Amino acid sequence: MKEKVIEEYNKDNGFMKHNDFKIIELDNNHAKLEYKIKKNGLNPIGIVHGGLLFGLCDTAAGVLASMNGKFPLTISCNVNYLKPAKGKKIFAIAKKLKEGKTIGYYSVELFDDNNSLITSATINMFYSDIK
C-alpha cells in the first residue's frame, strides 16, 4: 500500500505538487513530509504563511490516512501556530491517533530544520470511496 500511496500523491498535479511537498517517510502509523521554504510561500512580513502551514499539516494527515486504501477528506482541523519557522525546510510528522471504519483522527507537528516545533494540529478525516 505504501508504494501505491506515494505513487498517487507524486503524480498529483494539484496542491501538493504546486507547493513542492515531498513524502520522505511513510508507514501505517506515521508520515513525514518535507517542504523547502520558498519566497512564494511567505506572507507579507516574510515568514511562512499560515495557510501554507495548514496545507502542509492537512496534506501530511491525508497521506497517512490514505494508507487504509480509501480517499480521506478533512472534516475538521485545529491548528496552533507556535512560532515562525527558521531555516530552509519544514518537516511535517503525522501520527495516527485512532482509525475507525469511516473517520480517523490524526496529529501533525511541524518542525523547522533547527528541530523547533513551529505548528501543532489535530485533524479528523472522513474515509471516502471517491477517487
- Residue 104's pLDDT is what? 97
Number of structural domains in the chain: 1
Q: Which of 91, 102, 120, 95 is nearest to 33 (CA)?
A: 91
- Residue 13's pLDDT is what? 65
Taking the C-alpha atoms of residue 107 and residue 42, their distance in angstroms, rounded to an integer, is 24
Q: Which of 128, 113, 111 is nearest to 57 (CA)?
A: 111
Taking the C-alpha atoms of residue 47 and residue 95, their distance in angstroms, rounded to an integer, is 26
The residues that bridge with 95 in the sheet, in sequence order, are 30, 107
Taking the C-alpha atoms of residue 56 and residue 40, their distance in angstroms, rounded to an integer, is 15
Task: Please write the tens of the pLDDT for every residue from 106-123.
Answer: 999 999 999 999 999 999
Task: Please write the tens of the pLDDT for every residue from 61-102.
Answer: 999 999 988 889 999 999 999 999 989 999 999 999 999 999
CATH code for the domain of 30: 3.10.129.10
Task: Please write the tens of the pLDDT for every residue from 28-66.
Answer: 999 999 999 999 999 999 999 999 999 999 999 999 999
- Residue 79's pLDDT is what? 98
Distances (CA, A) of 105 to 7, 36, 40, 81: 24, 27, 31, 19
Taking the C-alpha atoms of residue 84 and residue 107, their distance in angstroms, rounded to an integer, is 19
Domain range for 111 is: 2-128
pTM, two decimal places: 0.92
Give buried/exposed letters for 104-118 (b at 16+ CB in 10 A, else e): bbbbbbbbbeeeeeb
SS3 73: strand
